[in-house]
Structure 1
Amino acid sequence: MSEESAIVDVLGEPWFAETIDLAPDAEGPVVTTLVGRRPAEGEAPTDRAVLHVHGFSDYFFHTEFGEWWAERGHTMYGLDLRKYGRSMRPHQSPAYVADLEEYFADLDAAWERITRRDGHRHVVLSGHSTGGLVVALWADARRPPELAGLLLNSPWLDLQGPPMLRSAPVGFALEQLGRRRPMAQLGREVKGFYGRSLHRDHDGEWDFDVRWKPLDSLPIRFGWIRAVRQGHARVQAGLRVEAPVLVLSSDRSSYPKELDERVFSTDIVLDVRQIRRWSTAIGRHVTYIAVPGAVHDVVLSRRPARARAYEAIEQWLTGFVLEPTH
């Protein structure tokens, strides 16, 4: 990461952040933020890197994930997409885009800096939840030669809930609402169990800024839902990502009505059956692993489950990315 353009990040040393100006949208100026881990003294230079993209109502704070990759010879980067986390600005509607391809400019800018400027020739692209959907679409559209692998952590590949929500009439209604009333908010009940299960000030072990990752989520707008459903349709029609793909999820989903053990050992956000179903639509070399006891963000699970997740990543990395067979 360029010494001139980056400042010490809120995560502290050795993490640095670089604000990147993008073309304005309908709400005004837009930025994206590339966070990077500066190699420690004595660490050998590497041409390998990882770029991680967060999910909805989220931002990059995954220092343990970054250190794990650094121990395996990869420079770690995280990207706070426009209108999220470090990239959020007062004049903006948090998290809102009308088309997921708006994020392609964020990824293009980050990728250019990681590969051309910083000299990384083999890059694993990682995405969680909505970020997993976005990076899969970008990897399929751009097909950069430096893409060494695609790691998807509980990617959002279909609309969860009863089958009726995925019916043609409901799809048509969402399309029309998204087109005619894009900024209208979707009414929903959010109990905050997931955020509380993660944050160290509540029932978890992780430290994150609840202004950027609220315990009760950011608002969802119909224009954004329309954009996501269009992204789902593109995935389900079939992508052609050539790099090896690893998809991780919990082995179970649940929808608890109180803060019980299921909150800490299942995915309470997405339906893992849908993740399993649509994973093979992403590319021709896809590995899917269901991690027992994992939560929605698999690498934020309790220690035994995340140890299993890291073991799966290690096997995929050594078997298909560092020594590719595709």
Structure 2
Amino acid sequence: MELVERVFNFPDDYEGPVISTLISAQTPKKSESAVLYIHGYIDYFFQLHMAEVFLQAGYNFYALDLRKYGRSLLEHQHFNYCRDMKEYYPEIDQAIETIRSEGNSFIAMIGHSTGGLLASLYCAEDGQGGKNRIYVNQLILNSPFLEFNTPWFVRAVGIPLISSVSRLFPYAKMKNVLSPYYAVSVHKSMKGEWDYDLKLKPSEGVPLYLAWLRAVRLGQKRVKRGLKIAVPVLVMHSERSSWEKEWDDIIARSDAVLDVRHIKKYAPRLAHSVTLAEIPEGLHDLVLSREPVRNRVFSFMLDWISKKR
């Protein structure tokens, strides 16, 4: 598999120069169908095995490292920072323009976690003057971040109150309370099987910017009101979540980041046509689950794409 990386430059934002990175690979045989992958929070594209699956199935594969993430993070920028989810729309527009210019007339977009929220909001712009939204034919969401995994009072009062501080202090931050064992279940140096760059996807020590918190919360509020996405949507999630305070093997067989009950509750509000798929023993990033599980995930994705075309 030969990967090509292309850097896109955009007008300066409130921090200065901005870039994004499009990673792509083409099928050996000419194809007019493509997949575009959008990663999640504290993440970047490293799932080469996912690209190989789609290439073998006849789909050209593309993935974005969004601005201020992964390959696209510049020295002057704050890590994984944004003030509005729409800040990412220009690079998705550019990616889609590139994909279409390379002869692809069918595009399935895949979004993971916060990337799933972003992809949903982006596709919902169809009919609201969106430039290229109509060119996405199908949307696949891998454990989309549709609600914060916190107690009700924190969601209803704490997060709105805390995140509002960012309107006065744009770079206000707090300690990021991540699942302490999710990275343990994924990275090869611990109990997982994946060898990604811990500088680009650190397991701890990442500040939680309140502006990002507010941007996500406002995006989630839009989901709860109903997005009316015009294309078919597949929402995949683990069978169960886990909240263990110390290591337990169940963490390697569940979603240790989000509450899957929230995904099941809000997914039907995304579109007129939503298919829900529950994956037994799936990790938060379903494609990083143990081999038998991820094979089921890929099989379900490919089967759904073919049936909904």
TM-score range, shorter chain: over 0.9
1:122 to 79, 100, 106: 106
User: Residue in 1 aligned with 2:39?
Assistant: 54
Return the alpha-carbon distance in structure 2 between the equivalents of residues 75 and 312 of structure 1: 18
Q: How does 1:146-165 map to 2 (within 5 A)?
A: 146-165=135-154
What SS does the aligned partner of 2:109 have? Answer: strand
Q: CA RMSD in A?
A: 1.5
Encode CA deviations 1:29-69: one digit per residue, 9 max, x unaligned: 00000000133xxx211110000010000000111111111
Matches within 5 A, 1:149-298: 149-167=138-156, 169-190=157-178, 192-216=180-204, 218-298=206-286
Name stretches of at least 5 consecutive residues in structure 2 with no aligned partner: none
Q: TM-score, normalised by structure 1?
A: 0.90
| Residue pairs, 1:27-66, within 5 angstroms | 27-39=15-27, 43-66=28-51
Deviations along 1:194-249, one digit per CA (max 9) or x if unpaired, are 11211112211112111111122632111110000000011111112111110111
Q: How many residues align?
A: 304
Tell me if structure 1 keeps the 8 A contact 2:35–2:108: yes
Matched, 1:101 2:86: yes
1:311 aligns with 2:295: no
Q: d(CA) in 2 for partners of 1:191 and 1:124?
A: 30
Say which SS state the counterpart of residue 220 (structure 1) adopts: strand
Aligned position for 1:17: 5
Quote how far apart the aligned CAs of 1:171 are.
4.8
- In the superposition, the TM-score normalised over structure 2's length comes to 0.94
AA of the residue aligned to 1:165: V
What amino acid maps onto 1:62 in structure 2?
Q
Q: Residues 100, 191 of structure 1: CA spacing in aligned structure 2 closer, same or farther, 3 A cutoff?
A: closer
Letter in 2 for 1:161: T
Report if aligned partners of 2:36, 2:62 keep a CA contact under 8 Å in 1. Answer: yes
**Letter aligned with residue 259 of structure 2:** D
Change (3 A) 1:191 1:267: closer
8 Å CA contact 2:239–2:279 kept in 1: the answer is yes
Distance 1:251 1:173, change over 3 A: same
Unaligned runs of 5+ in 1: 1-12, 322-326
Equivalent residues of 1:65, 1:299 under 8 A apart: yes
Give 3-state SS (helix, strand or coil) of 1:90's partner. Answer: coil
Aligned to 1:111: 96
Aligned equivalents of 1:199, 1:171: Cα separation in 2: 30
Q: CA deviation at 1:182?
A: 2.7
User: 1:264 is matched by which residue type in structure 2?
Assistant: A
Question: What does residue range 76-87 of structure 1 map to in structure 2 within 5 Å?
Answer: 76-87=61-72
Q: Kindly, what percent of the aligned residue pairs are identical?
A: 36
Mapped to 2, the partners of 1:198 and 1:38 lie a distance apart of 28
Report the Cα offset of residue 19 of structure 1. 0.5
The CA distance in 2 between the partners of 1:289 and 1:164, in whole Å, is 29
* AA of the residue aligned to 1:130: T
Give SS of 2:51's match: helix
